[in-house]
Structures are given as C-alpha cells and as structure tokens.
Amino acid sequence: MRITRMYQGDDGVSHFEDVEVAQHISDVGGVTRRLFPGQCFFRTTEPGLTIDWHTTPGKRMIIIITGVVEVEVGHGEKRRFGPGEICLAEDTDGPGHRTVDVEGPRFSLMVDLPDDWDVHRWARQFEA
C-alpha cells in the first residue's frame, strides 16, 4: 500500500514523497498498523473548485472515495489523486500547495492526525 506524503522541505516549499506502508497478511487480507486519529469528516467538492496556495491546518490524511483532485506543490510538481488513493498533508507552514478538483464531484474522507504522528514509524514492518 502506498501513501503520498506532502510536506514542507528544508527549502521552505512543499514536496511529495511516496511512502510504502507495510501490511500484515492475515486470513482477512492485508492489515496495516492501527491508526489513532483525532477528528474525521467527509467532504464533497464540485469539479472546477480551485483552492489557491494554502497550508493544511494540521496533519491530515485525505482518502479519495470518488472524483479526482490535482495537487501542485512548491516546485511546480503536480499529482492527481483518485478513488482509493491517499494523500497525507503535512505542509502546515510555508506557501503550501494548490488544489484543483478536475473530476467530480469529489467525495473524500478527511482524517486528522496528532501533531506527533510519524508516517514513517507507522508504515514500518510489523515486528515478528
């Protein structure tokens, strides 16, 4: 399983990083480590909605259920996220990122995470 992390780099602008998440294979399928989120909410947006440069209010996992959003980060790199894809927004400072809903309506689950939550620690292999 892969999560795309969006974070502010040492250069002061946002970047993308692909993080592979380990899963334990069981009789019910692949299972990740448990998440202990804060607030969760659903969001619906219409195609064409553009939100100019902005930061995330805190660590937030965005799980796309339907629709497609295009996200641009600091150096102009753009990525599209569609159904089943997960973007972890961690760029709480700097110029942030820009979003455009390109197909929709987009329906997303927004999962707020604690400030000290570390995606790399969460994504690591299960201990034997």
Report pLDDT digits (tens) over 2-17: 999 999 999 999 999 9
Q: Are 126 and 33 in contact (CB under 8 A)?
A: yes
Residue 89: pLDDT band by 50, 70, 90 thresholds? Answer: very high
Enumerate domains of the chain plus CATH numbers.
2-123 (2.60.120.10)
* Confidence tier at 127 by pLDDT (50, 70, 90): low
Predicted pLDDT at 26: 87
Q: Is residue 126 pLDDT above 90, yes or no?
A: no
pLDDT, residue 128, reads: 45
Tens digit of pLDDT for each residue in 91-112?
999 999 999 999 989 999 999 9
Nearest-Å Rg of the Cα atoms of the chain is: 15
pTM: 0.90
User: Which ranges constitute the DSSP H helices of the chain?
Assistant: 119-123
Instruction: Quick: pLDDT tens for 19-38.
Output: 999 999 989 999 898 888 99
Predicted pLDDT at 104: 87
What beta strand segments (E) does the chain contain?
A: 2-8, 14-20, 24-26, 29-31, 40-45, 50-54, 60-72, 78-81, 86-89, 97-112
Both tokens assigned to 47: 């195609």
